[in-house]
Structure 1
Amino acid sequence: MSTPRREIALLVNPTAGRGKGARYASLAAPRLRDAGFDVRLLQGTSAEEAEALARGAVSDGCHALVACGGDGLVHLAVQALAGTDTPLGIIPAGTGNDVARYLNISRTDPLAAADRVVASRRRRMDLARCGDRWFVTVLAAGFDAIVNERANDMTWPRGQMRYNLATLAELRTFRPLHYTLELDGETRTLDAMLVAVGNGPSFGGGLRITEGALLDDGFLDVVIIKAMSRPELIRTYPKLFSGTHTTHPAYEHHRVRRVTVATPGIVGYADGERFGALPLTIECPPLALEVLL
Structure 2
Amino acid sequence: MPMEKRKAWLLYNPMAGRFPAGPFLGRAERALKSAGWDVSTVEGRDEQGLVRSAEQAVWEGCEAVFVAGGDGSVGQVAATLAGTETALGVLPAGTANVWAQELGLPRLDWIHWFALEQAAIQLARGDIRLVDIGEVNGRAFLLWAGVGLDAHIVNSIEPRERWEKAFAIVHYATLALWTSIGWEGVHLRAESQGQVWEGRFLAAVACNIPAYAGGLMNLAPGAKVDDGLLDFWLIGGQSLRDVLVRVAQIFMGTHVDAPGVVHFRASEARFEAQGELPMQCDGEPIQMASPLHFRIRKKALRVLVPADAGPHLFSISSEIELEA
Could you state the TM-score of these two structures normalised by the residue count of structure 1?
A: 0.91
Q: 1:101: how far off?
A: 2.1
Match of 2:91 in 1: 91
Q: Which of 243, 268, 290 is equivalent to 2:302?
A: 290
SS of the residue corresponding to residue 32 of structure 2 reads helix
Q: Deviations over 1:70-96 (max 9, x none)?
A: 101111111221112211111111121
Task: Give the Cα–Cα distance (whole angstroms) in 2 for the partners of residues 227 and 104 of structure 1.
Answer: 33
Query: Are 1:5 and 2:5 matched, yes or no?
Result: yes
> Gaps spanning 5+ residues in structure 1: where?
none
Deviations 1:174-222 (A, max 9, x none): 0022102121343432221111111111233213222321111111111
Q: Which amino acid aligns with 1:218?
A: G
Does structure 1 retain, via aligned residues, the 8 Å contact 2:232–2:263? Answer: yes
For residues 241 and 284 of structure 1, the distance between their equivalents in structure 2, rounded to whole angstroms, comes to 27
Distance 1:173 1:183 in 2: 30
Match of 1:260, as an amino acid? R
Instruction: State the match for 1:124 in structure 2.
Output: 130
Q: In the alignment, which of 206, 222, 227 is matched to residue 212 of structure 1?
A: 222
Query: Do the aligned partners of 1:203 and 1:272 also contact (CA within 8 Å) in 2?
Result: no
1:106-117 → structure 2 map (5 Å cutoff): 106-108=106-108, 109-117=115-123
Give the direction of change, closer, same or farther, for the CA distance of 1:253–1:20 in structure 2 (3 Å limit): same
Aligned to 1:171: 180
1:125 corresponds to which letter in structure 2? V
For residue 291 of structure 1, what is the amino acid of its counterpart? V
What are the superposed Cα offsets for residues 39-66 of structure 1, whole Å, 9 maximum, x if unpaired?
1112123220221011110121112111
SS in 1 for 2:203: strand
* Map 1:156-195 → 2, pairs under 5 A: 157-158=164-165, 159-195=168-204
Alpha-carbon distance, 1:123 to partner: 1.2
Which position in structure 1 is the counterpart of 2:261?
A: 251
Q: Distance in 1 between matches of 2:160 and 2:80?
A: 30
Paired amino acid for 2:214: G
Q: Counterparts in 2 of 1:1-293, with a 5 A limit?
A: 2-108=2-108, 109-152=115-158, 157-158=164-165, 159-206=168-215, 207-241=217-251, 243-264=253-274, 265-279=276-290, 280-293=292-305
**Which moved further from structure 2: 44-53 or 18-27?**
18-27
* Distance in 2 of aligned mates of 1:23 and 1:213: 36
Moved more, 98-107 or 190-199: 98-107
Alpha-carbon distance, 1:228 to partner: 4.8
Deviation at 1:131, TM superposition (A): 4.4
User: Is the 8 Å Cα contact of residues 11 and 43 (structure 1) preserved in structure 2?
Assistant: yes
* Secondary structure of 1:68's aligned partner: strand
- Does the C-alpha gap of structure 1 residues 126 and 153 become closer, same or farther in structure 2, counting only changes over 3 Å? closer
Measured on the aligned residues, the alpha-carbon RMSD in Å equals 2.1
Task: Kindly state the Cα deviation for residue 247 of structure 1 after the two structures are TM-superposed.
Answer: 3.4
Distance 2:15 2:219 in 1: 27
Letter in 2 for 1:272: G
In 2, Cα distance between the equivalents of 1:281 and 1:13? Answer: 30
Decide whether aligned partners of structure 1 residues 202 and 168 sit closer, same or farther in structure 2, where only a CA change above 3 A counts: same
SS at match of 1:149: helix
CA gap of 1:45–1:70, structure 2 versus 1, over 3 A, is closer
In structure 2, relative to structure 1, the CA distance for the partners of 1:246 and 1:278 (3 Å cut) is: farther
Tell me, what secondary structure is at the counterpart of 1:284? strand
Distance 1:173 1:26, change over 3 A: farther
Answer whether contact 2:8 2:38 (CA < 8 A) is retained. yes
Q: Alignment partner of 1:18: what SS?
A: coil
Q: Kindly provide the amino acid, as one letter, of the partner of residue 209 in structure 2.
A: G
Residue 120 (structure 1) shift: 3.8
Q: 2: distance between equivalents of 1:239 and 1:189?
A: 22
Name the CA shift for 1:26/1:199 in 2 (closer, same or farther; >3 Å): same
Q: CA deviation at 1:258?
A: 0.3
Aligned length: 293
Which residue type is aligned with residue 192 of structure 2?
A: L
SS at match of 2:211: coil
Structure 1 residues 133, 90: CA separation in 2 closer, same or farther (over 3 Å shift)?
same
The structure-2 alpha-carbon separation of the partners of 1:153 and 1:40, relative to structure 1 and needing over 3 Å to count, comes to closer
